[in-house]
Structure 1
Amino acid sequence: MIIVAVGLSHRTAPVEVREKVAIGEAELPAALEQLKKELGHGLILSTCNRTEIYTLAGHLSSGARMAAHFLAEQHHIFPETLSSHLYSFGHEEASRHLFRVTAGLESMILGETEILGQVRRAMEVAEEAGTLNLPLLNLFQQAIRVGRRGRAETAIAQNAVSVSSAAVELAKGVLGDLGQRTVLVVGAGEAGKLATMALSARGAGRILVTNRSPQKARELAATLGGTTVPFSKLGEVLRDVDIVVSATSSPGFVLGPAKVKHAMEQRESKQLCLIDIAVPRDIDPGVKEIKGVHLYDIDDLESVSEAGLRERAQEASKVEAIVEAEVAKFMRWWHELDVVPVVRALRNEAEAIREREYERTMRQLHHLGADDLERIEIMTKAIVNKVLHHPVTLLKERGNGHGYADMVRELFQLGKIEEHPGYQRLASPSENGRGGHG
C-alpha cells in the first residue's frame, strides 16, 4: 500500500472551481463517513485555498482515480469538470507535498500560520470519525511537527500576513486611511475574528459585526469594542458602511445584486468596497457590475501578500531542507512498518527452533548441573541473535516495499505472519470486502 494525495488548490484552480468542492467543517463528519465506505481510510483537508484527499491505495493510478471520483461524487459534479485542475501525488511525493503544505510553502501567503491549525483540526475530525489508521495518523502528526519546526527554526513566518489581514490591507489600498471608515465584518468564525482583529489593529474608525448566530457576533464584537447588527438587517446596514469583509461558512451567497443595488441607490455615489474571503463565496460576483461597487475575492489577495515576501522567500530553502529531512525520516519509519511483522515472525521461528533443540539436547545431558544448563541456554540464544543480526539489519535498512520481506518469508517458510499492531489496517478497500470505483 502507498499514500495517495489528490486535490486542487489556488495554484491549479480559481475560486469559482474551488468553491464547488469545498467541504465545511460541519459537513466533514458525513463526508468522512462516505470516504470510509469508498476508500477505507483517509483524511479531508479543505480550506479556502485547497481541498485535498489523503488515503491509501495499492497503486497511485487507482487510488487517484477513486479519490477524484469521491470528490466529484460528494458534490454531485462530473469528474471531467475537475480533471484539469486536480493534482495527485504518490507515497514519498504525497508526504513531501503534505509537509510543504503544513510548513506554509504551498500557501498563497508564504509562511502563513493558519494552515497549521487547519491541518491539525482536519486530523482531529478524521480521528473522531475513525478514518485514520496508524500510517495516516503518523503521517499527519509528523506533518504538524514539520510545520512547527519550520516556523520555530527559521524566519519564514516573520511578517507573514493572514488571509484576513491581507483583506484589510486590500481595503486600505482601495479606500486609503481606515480611521474614518465604517467596516462591516460578516461572519464570526476564525476568519471573521482575524479580520476584526486586523481592522482594530489598523485603526478602523467603526467596526460592525454580524453573524447568523447573534451570540457569536456579540462575543466577537465585545472583545474589540465593535458593534453588532442583526444578520437580517444586512441589506440595510450596507447603506452606512464603507467596507464589507465577508467570511461566513454559508454554502451559498449571503449578499446578492438586489440588496447591494438597493443600498447603492441610497448612498449618494459613495463607493462601497466588498471583500469576499469565503470559500464557497459569500457575495454574488454579479454585484461588481453595479456602479460604485469594488468587489474582490480571495484570489485577489495574492498581490497584497507580497509584503515582506523577499525576506520570507530567503527562508524557504531552510524550510525545504527541514521538509526533506522529515520526509526521509517518515519513509524510514514506513519501510520498517513493512518489515516489522516479518522480523518478528523470523525471530519467533528461530526462537521456537532453538527451544526445541535445546530441550531435546538437555534430555541427553542429565549429568549437567543448573549452572552449566544456564550457560548452554545463554550460548544458544547468542548464536540465534548473531545469526539473525545481519539479515534483520539489512531487512530494516532496505526493506522498501514488500520485496525483501516476501523473500525472507519464502526463504524461511514463515507462513502466515502475525501483523504489526495497526498494520492490518493497511489492507485496501477491495481486500476488506468494501466496494470501490476502481
Structure 2
Amino acid sequence: MYVLLVGINHRTAPVEIREKLAFTGGAINQAYEYLRQKENLEGAVILHTCNRTEVYATARDIQLGMEALSQFMDGFSQFTREEMKQYLYQPNCYDAILNLFRVASGLDSMILGESQILGQVKEAYQMAREEKASDGVLNTLFQQAINVGKRVRSETDIDRHPISVSSVAVELARSQLGSLQGKSVVVVGAGEMSELTTRYLMEYGLSSVIVSNRSYAKAEAMAQLFSGQAVRFDQLPAQLGQADIVISCTAANHYVLNSQNCGDILKARQGRRIIIIDIAVPRDVDPVLAKIDGVQIYDIDKLQHVIDVNYLERKKASRQAEKIIQEELDKFNEKLASLYVVPVISALKEKAEIIKNQELKRAFNRVDLSEHEKKVVSTLANNIINQLLHHPMVSLKEMACSNQGHLYAEVSKKLFDLSVDMEEMNVGEVEIGQPWQQVGSVAGRVR
C-alpha cells in the first residue's frame, strides 16, 4: 500500500493559481465523487485552506495512483497538466506523512505555529469520512496527525508568542493595562487591519467600541459589527478624553492625531494612562504626543520589534516541535511496517498447517497406526513445524520495524511462495492511544 500526496501551497504557487483549486460550495462533493470512482485509488482526503490544497490518497500501485491524482488535478484546476506542473509537489510516502504532521503542527503555515490549521485538518478528515472516501490507512494517518498537532501545542510554546501586528497590538495593550475587562477603545480607520485588531480586543471583554473614519458610512458599518458607536471624523479628538485604548490605521499621508487637535484633551486626562497603537504607514499619530503624561504610543516599528522577538521564540519552539514530529513519525511508520508483515506471517503459518495435514494424511493412509501412534506422529510434526518456523517468524517481526521491513516481507512471500491478501492490513482498527512504531520510504511505499 502506498500513501500518496499531490498539492500546492503558498510557497509553491501564488494566490492566482491557488484560487483555481478552491473547493467552494458543492465543488468538494464533486471532487470526492470523482476520487471515489477512481479504481486505482483506495482512499482520499482533501485538505483545502486559503494557503494550500493537498490531496492525500492511498493506492496499491504508485504509478497508477499518481496518474489518477494527476487526472484529478487536471479536471479541477482550470489549468493544463503542463501549466500546473511547476506548482505541484508530489513527495514520496515518508515525506507525505511528514508533511501532514508538520502541517497539523503549524510548522508549514504562513504564520509559524498558527493554531487554525489543526481545526482545518480535523474538518478535512471529517469531511472525507462523511463522503466515505477515507480508508483505514488514511483514518489512522489523520487521527495520528491530529494527535501530533495537539502534542506539539501542549508541549511547546509554538503558538504562545503572537507574531501578527494585530495580535501583538492586543498583547501590548494587555501588558500595559492588565485586564481589558470594561475598557473602552477608539478605532481610527475602518479597514481590514482595524477590524481584525478590534476583533482580538473584543475577546477580552471591552465595554465599548467607538469607530471613526473619513467615510462615516464605513465607520457605521464597522461599529455595527461590534455593537459599537460611529462618530464623524471631526468629532474624533473629543473621544480621547475617556478612551483607554486607541487603535489607528488610516491611509492618511499626515498625522491624524496631533498636538493641535488633541493635545489639550490628552493633557486634561491628568496622567490617566491611554495606550495609542499606531499601525499605519505613514504614521497617524504625532510622536510628540508621547511627551504628555500618561500617553504611551506604539508605532509599527515598536510592534515589529516585539514581533521579531516573538518569532525567534516560535522558531526555538519549532525545533522542539520537529523532534516531537520525528518521534511520532517513527512510531507511526513502525506500526504500519509491523502491520505489513502480519498477513505474511499468517499466510506462512496457514501454508505450513496445510502441508503438515496433507503429509500426515498421506502417511496415515500408507501405514496402519493406532490412534496413540497417530497422536505421537502428529505431535512430532507440529513440533517440527513450530521449531522450523519460529525463528523466521520472530525475525520477520523484528525486521518489520527496520527501514527495510516491507522488503523482508516481500522476500518471505517469494521464498515460501505465499499468496497474501493485503486487505488483512486492518489498520483502520488500530487505537491511536496505543504506542506507535516506524516507516521509511522507497519510491513512496509504506514500510
TM-score normalized by the length of structure 1: 0.63
Deviates more, 1:83-92 or 1:386-395: 386-395
Contact between 2:8 and 2:53, CA under 8 Å: does it hold in 1? yes
2:84 counterpart letter in structure 1 = L
1:157 counterpart letter in structure 2 = D
Query: Alignment partner of 1:87: what SS?
Result: coil
Distance in 2 (CA, whole Å) between partners of 1:67 and 1:51 is: 13
The CA deviation at 1:29 is 2.2
Please provide the CA RMSD for this pair.
4.7
Contact between 1:24 and 1:46, CA under 8 Å: does it hold in 2? no
Distance in 2 (CA, whole Å) between partners of 1:113 and 1:30 is: 29
The CA deviation at 1:145 is 1.6
Contact between 1:4 and 1:94, CA under 8 Å: does it hold in 2? yes
Query: Alignment partner of 2:390: what SS?
Result: helix
Q: Does 1:13 align with 2:13?
A: yes
How much identity, in percent, do the aligned residues show? 30
The equivalent residue for 1:283 is none
The CA deviation at 1:326 is 1.9
Distance in 1 (CA, whole Å) between partners of 2:6 and 2:318 is: 24
- Going from structure 1 to structure 2, the CA distance change for 1:324 and 1:74 (only over 3 Å counts) comes to same
The CA deviation at 1:314 is 0.7
- Going from structure 1 to structure 2, the CA distance change for 1:321 and 1:110 (only over 3 Å counts) comes to same
Whichever of the two has the greater Rg, that structure is: 2
The equivalent residue for 1:393 is 397
Query: Alignment partner of 2:5: what SS?
Result: strand
The equivalent residue for 2:185 is 179
Distance in 2 (CA, whole Å) between partners of 1:99 and 1:401 is: 22
The equivalent residue for 1:71 is 73
Q: 2:421 aligns with which of 415, 418, 422?
A: 418
Instruction: Map 1:357-376; keep pairs closer than 5 Å.
Output: 357-358=359-360, 364-366=368-370, 368=372, 376=380
The equivalent residue for 2:28 is 28
Distance in 1 (CA, whole Å) between partners of 2:398 and 2:311 is: 46
The equivalent residue for 2:204 is 201
- Going from structure 1 to structure 2, the CA distance change for 1:107 and 1:367 (only over 3 Å counts) comes to closer
Query: Alignment partner of 2:409: what SS?
Result: helix
Distance in 1 (CA, whole Å) between partners of 2:327 and 2:106 is: 16
Describe the superposition over 1:332-352 as per-residue Cα deviations: whole angstroms up to 9, x where unpaired. Answer: 233334333222111111122
Distance in 2 (CA, whole Å) between partners of 1:305 and 1:111 is: 13
Distance in 2 (CA, whole Å) between partners of 1:355 and 1:46 is: 55
Distance in 2 (CA, whole Å) between partners of 1:340 and 1:199 is: 55
Contact between 1:150 and 1:322, CA under 8 Å: does it hold in 2? yes
Q: Does 1:313 align with 2:315?
A: yes
Contact between 1:4 and 1:63, CA under 8 Å: does it hold in 2? yes
Query: Alignment partner of 2:3: what SS?
Result: strand
The CA deviation at 1:96 is 0.8
Distance in 1 (CA, whole Å) between partners of 2:16 and 2:307 is: 21
Distance in 2 (CA, whole Å) between partners of 1:24 and 1:319 is: 32
Q: 1:240 aligns with which of 207, 220, 227?
A: 220
2:134 counterpart letter in structure 1 = L
The CA deviation at 1:7 is 1.4
The equivalent residue for 2:131 is 129
- Going from structure 1 to structure 2, the CA distance change for 1:164 and 1:10 (only over 3 Å counts) comes to farther
- Going from structure 1 to structure 2, the CA distance change for 1:327 and 1:168 (only over 3 Å counts) comes to same
1:317 counterpart letter in structure 2 = R
Contact between 1:42 and 1:131, CA under 8 Å: does it hold in 2? yes
Describe the superposition over 1:234-279 as per-residue Cα deviations: whole angstroms up to 9, x where unpaired. Answer: x99535356899xxxxxxxxxxxxxxxxxxxx989x99869xxxxx
The CA deviation at 1:52 is 0.9
Distance in 2 (CA, whole Å) between partners of 1:125 and 1:14 is: 26
Distance in 1 (CA, whole Å) between partners of 2:204 and 2:82 is: 45
The CA deviation at 1:315 is 1.4
Q: Does 1:42 align with 2:8?
A: no
Describe the superposition over 1:352-410 as per-residue Cα deviations: whole angstroms up to 9, x where unpaired. Answer: 22334455667754263899689657635642542543553365345847644343223
The equivalent residue for 1:102 is 104
Contact between 2:136 and 2:427, CA under 8 Å: does it hold in 1? no
The equivalent residue for 2:89 is 87
Describe the superposition over 1:402-436 as per-residue Cα deviations: whole angstroms up to 9, x where unpaired. Answer: 6443432232222x3333335799xxxxxxxxxxx
Q: Does 1:379 align with 2:383?
A: yes
Distance in 1 (CA, whole Å) between partners of 2:34 and 2:305 is: 38
Query: Alignment partner of 1:52: what SS?
Result: strand
Distance in 2 (CA, whole Å) between partners of 1:45 and 1:25 is: 15
Contact between 1:101 and 1:115, CA under 8 Å: does it hold in 2? yes
The CA deviation at 1:205 is 4.4
Contact between 1:243 and 1:272, CA under 8 Å: does it hold in 2? no
The CA deviation at 1:43 is 1.1
Q: Does 1:405 align with 2:385?
A: no
- Going from structure 1 to structure 2, the CA distance change for 1:68 and 1:374 (only over 3 Å counts) comes to closer
> Where does structure 1 lack aligned partners over 5 or more consecutive residues?
170-176, 187-191, 209-234, 246-265, 275-291, 293-301, 426-438
Contact between 1:133 and 1:422, CA under 8 Å: does it hold in 2? no
TM-score normalized by the length of structure 2: 0.62
Distance in 2 (CA, whole Å) between partners of 1:163 and 1:121 is: 28
Q: How many residues align?
A: 346
- Going from structure 1 to structure 2, the CA distance change for 1:196 and 1:272 (only over 3 Å counts) comes to closer
Query: Alignment partner of 1:181: what SS?
Result: strand
Instruction: Map 1:271-282; keep pairs closer than 5 Å.
Output: none
Contact between 1:2 and 1:56, CA under 8 Å: does it hold in 2? yes
Contact between 1:181 and 1:242, CA under 8 Å: does it hold in 2? no
